[in-house]
Structure 1
Amino acid sequence: MKIISTNIGTPTTFIWNGKEETTGIYKKPTGQPIYLTRNDVVGDEVSNRLNHGGFYKACYVFSAEQYPHWKAQYPDLDWSWGMLGENLTVEGFDERELFLGETYRLGEALVQVSQYREPCYKLGHKFGTPQMIKQFIQHGFGGTYLSILEEGHVNVNDEFQLVDRPKELLSVHDLFKLVFDKDRNPDHLKIAIQSQAIPRKKRVFLSQFV
């Protein structure tokens, strides 16, 4: 897996239900290194700290291989890397082969595969339709957040170098399905509930399905 674009969002305002809101989802390629901290990416807009940023959502990663699917669905949009709101666009990122709790050396940083993305109305607004949220969930490839265990710069062409892998494996793809599908794999639930790579409130949420 290799970074092919580092992306940063500046504050963008829009009207939602009659109120002005601010978002950082409109990310654009930087063409330079970005610095990953334990709570966010330096210079990246995080408008709602309750639901974005923080240790378990410090950096969002999305697969370059998923772009053709979305470009085909929305060909009239102005496409560039960062379109799905990711800080890092990654080549060779197969969510069926990336696992919750894995740690990787990435540039200067040490990162851990963390929790799933829950798409919100801001994604729908960016794509021009609330249907995008349903489509995103149904497609099943939602990217992943990273926790930053050691802070540092990352840049284009930096590769994910595996450092450690949990004994119990749950792929990013299966974690996403575990949250949004009605038929939940009990073995996958057990792994997710016991994983320290996702926050306690999310583990409590998943435990109701056991």
Structure 2
Amino acid sequence: MRPFTLLTGRAAPLPGSDVPSGIGKTPVTRPLTLGPEGFESDEQADRRVHGGVEKAVHHYPRDHYATWRAELGDLPALLAPGGFGENISTAGLTEAEVAVGDIFRLGSALVQVSQGRQPCWKLNHRFGVPDMARRVQLTGRTGWYYRVLQPGTVAPDDRLELIDRPAPDWTLRRLWHALYVDRMNLAELEGMAALDVLAEGWRKYAIRRLESRRVEDWSKRLDGTA
């Protein structure tokens, strides 16, 4: 069982921009209702690519913040949890230990790891670093999302408790490696395509690569040129 910081935020313009985003999160001090699409009082500005049942809750490891500060300096968004738009911040859990399909008790709710986080260009604005989204993707320090299996109430003094691991071999680090590094490893892609606890969108990436023998071009999503 691990303590966590619980964070939410409303949509607001990105720094130096009129583009709205819900990436800015701050700690809450009261219990919140967690439903199928996320926490009360939490917002996502662009619902085409953020939020939804497979991205109801975003978890980002506090462990990565020190590494980012060592690489980028003490940027304002790196001084406290919430810089990456996370709802849950913990120490001692990273993509190397957490597997897709892992089920956690979160307050009175049950959540399940559905996929890793796919960085987009809004991180560039958030941090004032032109290639921040690419850095997140290339390092694998992405964080992850949960789907909600059982709605409930979550309080800041609750604990995150691992309940079940239906696919322990499929860590988020392994998924990241298959998606972004060893991108045409057919055996890994076949495994991803058959992984029923993985979000459908990520399974489709694997299926399309197997069928087309081609890798997607992520540049527009990372640079904001779409």
TM-score (norm 2): 0.83
User: RMSD of the alignment, in Å?
Assistant: 2.1
Instruction: Quote the residue 2:53 is aligned against.
Output: 55
Q: What code does the residue aligned with 1:142 have?
A: T
Q: Tell me how far apart the structure 2 counterparts of residues 166 and 127 of structure 1 sit (CA, whole Å).
A: 36
Q: CA deviation at 1:202?
A: 2.6
Task: Say if 2:190 and 2:206, in contact at 8 Å, map to a contact too.
Answer: no
Q: Tell me how far apart the structure 2 counterparts of residues 112 and 181 of structure 1 sit (CA, whole Å).
A: 25
Moved more, 148-157 or 97-106: 148-157
**Aligned 1:30-49 pairs, distance under 5 A:** 30-49=28-47
Instruction: Quote the residue 1:205 is aligned against.
Output: 205
Q: Tell me how far apart the structure 1 counterparts of residues 93 and 15 of structure 2 sit (CA, whole Å).
A: 34
Q: Secondary structure at the match of 2:81?
A: coil
Q: Secondary structure at the match of 2:115?
A: coil
**Could you list the runs of 5+ residues in structure 1 that have no partner in the other structure?**
none
Q: Secondary structure at the match of 2:159?
A: coil
Instruction: Quote the residue 1:169 is aligned against.
Output: 169
What number of residue pairs does the alignment pair up?
208
TM-score (norm 1): 0.89
Task: Say if 2:192 and 2:203, in contact at 8 Å, map to a contact too.
Answer: yes
Q: Does 1:84 align with 2:84?
A: yes
Q: Tell me how far apart the structure 2 counterparts of residues 75 and 15 of structure 1 sit (CA, whole Å).
A: 19
Task: Say if 2:100 and 2:167, in contact at 8 Å, map to a contact too.
Answer: no
Q: What code does the residue aligned with 2:209 have?
A: F
Task: Say if 2:4 and 2:160, in contact at 8 Å, map to a contact too.
Answer: no
Q: Tell me how far apart the structure 2 counterparts of residues 201 and 4 of structure 1 sit (CA, whole Å).
A: 28
Task: Say if 2:113 and 2:145, in contact at 8 Å, map to a contact too.
Answer: yes
User: In structure 2, do the counterparts of structure 1 residues 188 and 170 end up closer, same or farther at CA, with 3 Å as the change threshold?
Assistant: farther
User: In structure 2, do the counterparts of structure 1 residues 73 and 34 end up closer, same or farther at CA, with 3 Å as the change threshold?
Assistant: farther
Q: CA deviation at 1:133?
A: 1.1
Q: Secondary structure at the match of 1:176?
A: helix
Q: Tell me how far apart the structure 2 counterparts of residues 20 and 115 of structure 1 sit (CA, whole Å).
A: 29
Instruction: Quote the residue 2:153 is aligned against.
Output: 153
Q: CA deviation at 1:20?
A: 2.6
State, as a whole percentage, how many aligned pairs show the same letter: 31
Q: Tell me how far apart the structure 1 counterparts of residues 198 and 186 of structure 2 sit (CA, whole Å).
A: 18
Instruction: Quote the residue 1:124 is aligned against.
Output: 124
Q: What code does the residue aligned with 1:116 have?
A: G
Task: Say if 2:101 and 2:167, in contact at 8 Å, map to a contact too.
Answer: no
Instruction: Quote the residue 1:65 is aligned against.
Output: 63
Task: Say if 1:6 and 1:32, in contact at 8 Å, map to a contact too.
Answer: no
Q: Secondary structure at the match of 2:105?
A: strand
Q: CA deviation at 1:182?
A: 4.0
Q: Secondary structure at the match of 2:116?
A: coil
Q: CA deviation at 1:201?
A: 3.5
Q: Secondary structure at the match of 1:62?
A: strand
Measured against aligned partners, the alpha-carbon deviations of 1:12-39 in whole angstroms (never above 9, x if no partner) come to: 11478xx731101011112333332111
Q: Tell me how far apart the structure 1 counterparts of residues 20 and 122 of structure 2 sit (CA, whole Å).
A: 10
Q: Tell me how far apart the structure 1 counterparts of residues 141 and 27 of structure 2 sit (CA, whole Å).
A: 21
Measured against aligned partners, the alpha-carbon deviations of 1:125-174 in whole angstroms (never above 9, x if no partner) come to: 00102211111112112111000000112233533323222256200111
User: In structure 2, do the counterparts of structure 1 residues 80 and 168 end up closer, same or farther at CA, with 3 Å as the change threshold?
Assistant: closer
Q: CA deviation at 1:62?
A: 0.8
Q: Tell me how far apart the structure 1 counterparts of residues 99 and 122 of structure 2 sit (CA, whole Å).
A: 27
